[in-house]
A and B are shown apart, each in its own frame.
Chain A
Amino acid sequence: MILNYFKSCFIFPFILIFCFSGFKGQTDSSFVIDTVKNIIPVFTTTVDLLDNELQSQDISGLLQSSRDVYVNQAGFNFSAARYRLRGYSSENTRLFINGIPVNDPENGWTIWSYWGGLNDVTRYPETSFGINNSAANFGSIGAYSYMSALPSVKRTGSRVSYASTNRSYRNRAMYTYNSGLNNNGWGFLISGSSRWSDEGYVPGSYYSSGSYLLSIEKKFNEKHTLNLMAFGAPTVQGRQGIAVQETYDLTGDPFYNPYWGYQTQSDGSLKKRNARSRDNHKPYMTLGHYWKVSEKLNIQSNFYAITGKTSNTNLNWVDANDPRPDYYKYLPSYFVNDQGTLSGNQIIENQEQYINISQQWQQNNPDYTQLNWDLMYNANYNNLYTQNNIGNIDSSFTGRRSKYIVEEYRLDPRHYGFNTFGKLDINENSSLNFGINISNYTSRNYRKINDLLGGDFWVDIDQFALRDFNDAALAQNDLQNINNIVGNGDIFGYNYDIHVNKNELFGTYSYNKKRIESFIGLNASTTTFWRDGKMQNGRFPESSLGSSEKQNFYNYGVKFGLLYKITGRHLLSFNGMYKTEAPYVRNAYVSPRTRDQLVPNLSSTEIISGDLNYNIRLPFLKARLTGFYTQINDQTWARSFYHDEYRTFVNYMMTNVDQIFMGIELGFESNITSTVQLTGAFTIGDYLYNSRPVATITRDNSQELIALDKVVYLQNFKIGGMPQQASSLGLKYNAPKYWYAGVNFNYFRDIYLSPNPDRRTAEAISAYGAEYPYRDEIINQTKLSDGNAVNLFCGKSWKIYKNDSYIRLGLNVNNLLDNTSFKTGGFEQLRYDASDIQRFPNKYGYMYGRTYFLMLSYLF
């Protein structure tokens, strides 16, 4: 095995460095999980997709860092197709950075951009997949990862790199320095980077991000070490939107982005402006204590804090035209769809419109295909308005009332917690992992004016409610501030806090003998959440202001694993888990923006999962074959979407959502010769809905329930948004002269769009008989075409003997053949018209075409 290790290091000099420095560090650390997976050599490409845009579900960075022969390849090659490990969404992973649990307490997600650009630190975590005997908590069914940022653990020295790419950003500069521990027990690690592009791969998108990490370690003696660490990644992005197929066909651009438009500057030039920007910065801080109580007992404890902000902007408008260029009434198809209701001259007029608008789109005339900021500003400049009855003093105000604004959705977390976990070696064969986590989370949720776009004020009322009800109080968003006049930076619309308190306890007992490794673990947790409204909403005066009733959930779980070594080279293992989890608060309230009404029948989620694995570790072949079966039952599903006609958010909630995930995974890595390696990763999955959920539909600006207890016929529909089958075959050449090159062929199948639940109800088709020719169009699920991508990578390293430093050059080319016809996902619009399903057609996103990532780094 050691020989094997050295061979790998010889082939990949840059790993050599890690091996040595890593070994050195790891002898100091007591928190290494001794799994089989750790022994498999790791190949980590210079390119990482940690920075990928797919905020919530993309854990490819985690996958790539794996040493597992399947997961690692899947991480590199499948992420472009939005692959998800075993179909699980990201709340089924558990991720720790230097002791901080970074799963979002509101929805369970791990969002990689919050620590993007810190690749030098996050590159080599301890990672396990599937059900495992995780060290810092009970874990889940997806993945478990612990990234350490201790100077004594990480590679020492400096690393500086520059990368050029054509993805969401164009440039990346990164610097990391780790002192290691000095003779007095002090060590410090700093890392920082910046990534930027004036315009990314997608037109109108941009990217500007910094990142920082500072970790100070003081080892007092053999027993006690303290660590203080802070990191964050302030990031500003102009986002990409996906659109209906019609817009791609007309513009001839599969990366058409409706979010941007030109704005005339004072010098007369035109500047691209994106209406949907994201501005995030969440600093993470921890104070950790590492205590070696005895040779047999190690305990780590952390106080942690997560603060900062997440912000997303969008346009809003009142008494004015929809400014979005891809609004369905502005597309040529609208003029075809409406033909049936017209007569005489109107038909001719419509045809003329159709021809004109089609031509404008085909010519990519930005007046038609993009936002028009100048028009919005001018509409605001000109809208002189007197607002009466302001506040309780009944004053009035005259000025330019903005018709269009850029508004900003804020979610600012305040998360404080304490955890402690450790490992007790009971005897030579058995050990106990244990820990507790106490977490106290609050998020401030509100909307504020980002830009009045040339106007003087905005009035905080709901226009739709005003029109619908002959009662001015109903239109008020804040009854404590009648007709509130708001300006740039002011809060309006909604304002509430979400509280989540969670306490967890776990213990895992491990028993290892020569031929057997096993574990059994238990956990218990309590979860309490509630909403605290800061505004009294005119539609919901009784249920919007102040603290809601607290919701309490008590949950538990049990897991086990058994590994049997048939020989040292053939291993068989079986893992299982049963647990219940509190519903995520993000799904718990029917309309948290306006009121504290709970989703009916809210209950804990139940997870049942098992996997069976066969591992082969031969000198020339490493392989793993796994079969898995998982049920996640009683889930709550919530989506909000903006409904153009209601002029507000419609909230669609489903309870009793059961899902099944089953399939097989196969990964292998084979050294055909000492320089040529063949790799492969294959998965066939079947990810299904397994119940008929019950839906509740509400809207933000009316008490009226649009629907209650509506049965959704989702049984056996596929879970959408990812390939259920994926294959990768790769060939690597590792030259003796410290260079390497490789190519991967990837193929994806069985990609479905997530079904819009409302189209799968009796009500949706009740107006149509069984013979209705378009009935299937309403009901049937959309399956996307298969896709493929070829990736190429190569690199070379030089050692400078004079000062024992290294230079590395790496190049990755993804989608070498520039395949731009692969739809990797999309969604069915939640708004639909059963009489004409194409009126609100699906929206699709395409895989990027050929992209490259070229990086030069210097290690010293």
Chain B
Amino acid sequence: MKKIQNLLLVLSITLFYFSCNKQYDDPPVNQVPIGDIILISDLKDMFTGSLTLIDSNYSIFGVITSEETNGNFYKEVYMQDLSGAIKLKLKSSGGLYIGDSIRINIQNVSMSEYGDLIQLENIDVDQQVVKIATEKFVEPYESTINQLSLSEDQSRLVKLNDVEFTELGMTYADAINLNTGSRILSDCNGNTVSVRTSGYANFASDTLPTGKGSVTGIFTIYNSEKQFVIRDINEVQLDSSRCNGSSGGGGSGGDYLYKDFDDGSLTSGGWKTFWSGTNPNLGEWEILFGNIAKASNYSNFNNYACESWLVSPNIDLSNATAPYLIFDNDTRYNGPQLELYISSNYDGFSNPDVQGNWFELTSFVPNWDPDSNDWGFVSSGNIDITQFISSSVTIAYKYVGTSSNGATWEVDNIIITE
């Protein structure tokens, strides 16, 4: 009997510890005081021209019109009410999203300006902001570039109609070095705003669209310069004919891919190069004359073994019916044929040697330039790629050189269209 008692004692002690996870009460809710409610326009009127500390117990109400999700905004959001809009600089990243209807207590918050754009400093989303509702989307203010007022409309969500980019072939920003891009958006009367895009934006490496249409974003200013920040790449709708009647800078209508290297960059528009070989740089794709892509493994009377890829961005052909690829090519000197590949499962960044199923198109190219001991481009002719239609098509050129020989190859004006 005693032994059974002991056994029970041991079991009960053990079982006690089965359920011995620590328990905690939820901490109390911090109340954000309301005080007097003022309009954003009233608030901006209080700005003295230099750093202004708001010492009264005020709250502003409004709706958030930008968010940080795609990387184009960092530690900042824009907020708007019926009277106006203002930029909020955040103490830390995150927590406010487009459509959030919020109240901010602004007592002890500082108001400052940057290039005449008025902003609230160091807003602590967790401590000073109360979210009232979500998905209260503000309709953008439809305007022309000329109509936009530097003071009244700054920080406002704006939609510009009948505008187009003027610097075609470029990307929104430099996603490689993470530098901000500034691209000119113009209406048909020559009025312009600068579209500012962060190198961290997930569309920074997209090539500027070539058509004309509408763009929605936040209207900002830097001193007297009118600027514009895109909050969602899907709000860039430039698919009509351009002001001059063409459908875009140099390309033909409805191009899915257009690469002419005229911006002096191999990689703008999401193009990539990969190289492996024996002598650094030899055989790498490079820019010739500022507007042609070239590869050669020859230096100082020697050839160096290498493999060198020039890879297009992933192209969405899901809306295409009979797309074809066409490009100009030129070769000289003895060496392997330039190879052309196509893939529908390339991941967009890996070395194509190790990733993606690549179908070789080399023998389907109607015209390769023969080695005629002379320079001169020929057009490839149309290469039908209808059978490869998918939402993510990639083409790639592969230059191969050996230690005993190697040609020089040049390509230009690479176009997928229909």
Contact = CB atoms under 8 A, between A and B. Distances in A.
Contacts of A273: 22, 24
A378 B124 CA distance: 12
Contacts of B129: 382
Contacts of A771: none
A311 to B, nearest CB: 10
A454 interface: yes
A234 B94 contact: no
Given A194-B14, A234-B18, A375-B126, A177 B3 contact: yes
Interface string A192-225: 1110100000000010111110000000000000
Interface in B84-118: 92-95, 97, 99-100
Given A192-B11, A273-B24, A208 B17 contact: yes
A318 B69 contact: no
Interface stretch (B130-138, B236-244, B250-258): B130-138
B27 A374 contact: yes
A319 B97 CA distance: 11
Contacts, number: 138
Nearest to B101: A384
Nearest to B205: A470
Given A319-B94, A385-B97, A704-B350, A192 B126 contact: no
Given A192-B11, A454-B26, A318 B16 contact: no
A177 B6 contact: yes
Nearest to B93: A319
Contacts of B130: 382
B70 A384 contact: no
Interface string B1-44: 00100110111011111101110111111100000000000000
B20 A236 contact: yes
B359 interface: no
B6 A279 contact: no
B24 A265 contact: yes
Contacts of B315: none
B95 A263 contact: no
Interface in B193-219: 200, 202-203
A470 B133 contact: no
Interface in A243-296: 263-266, 271, 273, 277, 279, 281
B27 A386 contact: no
Nearest to A385: B134
A384 B100 contact: yes
Contacts of B135: 386, 398
Interface string A344-377: 0000000000000000000000000000011101
A403 B95 contact: yes
Interface string B318-346: 00000000000000000000000000000
B222 interface: no
Nearest to A704: B349
Interface string A148-192: 000000000010000000000000010101010000000000111
A318 B92 CA distance: 12
A470 B200 CA distance: 12
A379 interface: yes
B25 A234 contact: no
B181 interface: no
Interface stretch (A131-139, A429-437, A461-469, A494-502): A461-469
A383 interface: yes
Contacts of A381: 29
A803 interface: no
Nearest to A702: B349
B73 to A, nearest CB: 11
Contacts of A209: 17
A467 B11 CA distance: 52
Interface in B134-152: 134-135
A175 B15 CA distance: 15
Interface in B32-82: 68-71
B305 interface: no
A703 B347 contact: yes
A321 interface: yes
A467 B131 CA distance: 23
Interface residues of A, number: 57
B179 interface: no
A470 B202 contact: yes
Contacts of B349: 703-704
B127 interface: yes
A466 B99 CA distance: 19
A703 B20 CA distance: 42
Contacts of A386: 99, 134-135
Interface in B262-308: none
A210 B97 contact: no
Contacts of B22: 206, 236, 238, 273, 277
Nearest to B126: A379
A175 B94 contact: no
A212 B7 CA distance: 10
Nearest to A398: B134
Given A382-B129, A403-B95, A467-B202, A211 B28 contact: no
A470 B175 CA distance: 13
A206 B131 CA distance: 37
B350 A703 contact: yes
Contacts of B389: none
Contacts of A263: 24-25, 27
B385 interface: no
A175 B6 contact: yes
Given A374-B27, A466-B69, A208 B20 contact: yes
A526 B349 CA distance: 39
A379 B11 contact: no
A379 B134 contact: no
B20 A192 contact: no
B383 interface: no
A384 B131 CA distance: 6
B350 A212 contact: no
A271 B24 contact: yes
Contacts of B233: 470
A382 B350 contact: no
Contacts of A266: 25-26, 28
A364 to B, nearest CB: 21
A691 to B, nearest CB: 25
Contacts of B13: 173, 192-194, 210
B34 to A, nearest CB: 15
A320 interface: yes
A232 to B, nearest CB: 9
Interface string A826-840: 000000000000000
Interface in A452-478: 454, 466-470
B308 to A, nearest CB: 19
Give 10 nearest A-B pairs by CB, closest first.
A319-B94, A192-B10, A210-B17, A210-B14, A384-B131, A379-B126, A386-B134, A264-B27, A266-B25, A470-B202
Given A235-B17, A467-B69, 10 more contacts: A173-B13, A177-B3, A210-B14, A277-B22, A373-B27, A382-B130, A382-B131, A398-B134, A703-B355, A704-B349
Interface of A: 158, 173, 175, 177, 179, 190-194, 196, 206, 208-212, 234-236, 238, 263-266, 271, 273, 277, 279, 281, 318-321, 373-375, 377-379, 381-386, 398, 403, 454, 466-470, 703-705
26 contacts: A158-B6, A175-B6, A175-B9, A175-B10, A177-B7, A194-B13, A210-B18, A212-B11, A234-B17, A263-B24, A266-B25, A266-B26, A266-B28, A277-B21, A319-B94, A377-B26, A379-B95, A384-B131, A384-B134, A454-B27, A466-B69, A467-B202, A470-B70, A470-B202, A470-B233, A704-B349
